[in-house]
Amino acid sequence: MGTDHGWRLPGTWCVGLVAGVAVASLAGGGCHRLPEAAVRQIRQAHQAYRHRQYARCERLASPVIAAHAAEPDTAEAYYLRGLARLRTDRKQAAKTDFEKGRRLTDRAELKALLHAQLGNLEYEAGQYERAAGHYRMAEADLPPHPPSDRVLLRYGMSLQRSGRFREGKRVLARLLLRFPSGRPADQARRKVTWPHDYHRVQCGVYSKAETARAAARRLSDRGVPASSWRQTRNGKTRYVVQAGRYRTYPEARRALEEIRPIVPDAFIMP
């Protein structure tokens, strides 16, 4: 979803993005209840992560977890180890670390980051209801600058993809109020203006009405319910062909798989 950015939170330092949505790597700033040696290891793990030394990051975080399993500040080590595991394509292990950290921490900003990561994993697995639940828990304690806009974008999209279009629009509207510019805002504008409470598959845009109607008929003849309609933007009139009405994104995905052999560049709206 674009170029990496960082954010700063009280006692934290964000080093980048994973899977296109905000994550943060902390620097031991909230670990005042751990022994100094453990805090030092967390800081070293943080530096290892920043330098893309993911195996070293995990080696440094793991002993802290083993020695201080019941301490709330150990959640930071879980978070770092989860990030390292995520970077090395061990999503289930990363998810386990994020879940343990979420249950352990009493720091609002760290809990928000852990929920954001869990939301990412559920979103990428197509579990949009679960993703929305995690993003909802993260929203209040995200920082007031990017890349929080990307978390909100996925939150709104998760709701839409679950069939909760009105709730999704409210989240996207909050994104636009807080972050009126940038790529997430551009995407949010397209999605928030979608007039329906269902998904459709877009199958083409034509300059002539008769061409669009013929394309819709071809789809209907193949068993795909399709229609054409006129759209005027920036003074230009075009004729759009769309198919179906699908409440959830997975339903639209299944339809798209049937349509793609007929229209290879078809895609889901919004």
- Beta-strand ranges (E) seen in the chain are 8-9, 12-13, 16-18, 21-23, 199-206, 226-233, 236-246, 267-269
pLDDT in tens, 215-231: 999 999 999 999 999 99
pLDDT in tens, 57-111: 999 999 999 999 999 999 999 999 999 999 999 999 999 999 999 999 999 999 9
pLDDT category of residue 12 using cuts at 50, 70 and 90 = very low
Closest CA to 46 of 65, 27, 66: 27
Q: Which domains does the chain have, with CATH numbers?
A: 8-191 (1.25.40.10), 199-269 (3.30.70.1070)
Q: Please give the single-letter amino acid code of residue 70.
A: A
As a whole number of angstroms, the distance between CA 183 and CA 165 comes to 21
Mean of pLDDT values over 134-140: 97
pLDDT category of residue 24 using cuts at 50, 70 and 90 = very low
As a whole number of angstroms, the distance between CA 186 and CA 236 comes to 20
Closest CA to 267 of 180, 218, 205: 205
Contact predicate 108/141, CB 8 Å = yes
Closest CA to 143 of 7, 15, 16: 7
- pLDDT score recorded for residue 31: 61
DSSP-assigned states of every residue in 226-243: EEEEEEEETTEEEEEEEE
Closest CA to 43 of 60, 68, 62, 23: 60
Q: How far is CA 129 from the centre of its chain?
A: 12
pLDDT in tens, 175-229: 999 999 999 999 999 999 999 999 999 999 999 999 999 999 999 999 999 999 9
| pLDDT of 128 strictly over 60 | yes
Q: Please give the single-letter amino acid code of residue 163.
A: G
pLDDT category of residue 143 using cuts at 50, 70 and 90 = confident
Average pLDDT for the chain: 88
As a whole number of angstroms, the distance between CA 4 and CA 143 comes to 16
- pLDDT score recorded for residue 264: 96
Which residues are CB-neighbours of 242 under 8 A, at least 6 positions away? 200, 201, 202, 203, 226, 227, 228, 229, 269
Which residues are CB-neighbours of 120 under 8 A, at least 6 positions away? 18, 19, 21, 23, 131, 154
As a whole number of angstroms, the distance between CA 135 and CA 6 comes to 19
- Tell me the torsion sign for CA atoms 51, 107, 160, 181: negative
- pLDDT score recorded for residue 80: 95
Contact predicate 83/110, CB 8 Å = no
| pLDDT of 6 strictly over 50 | no
Q: Two tokens at 162? A: 């679950």
- pLDDT score recorded for residue 146: 86
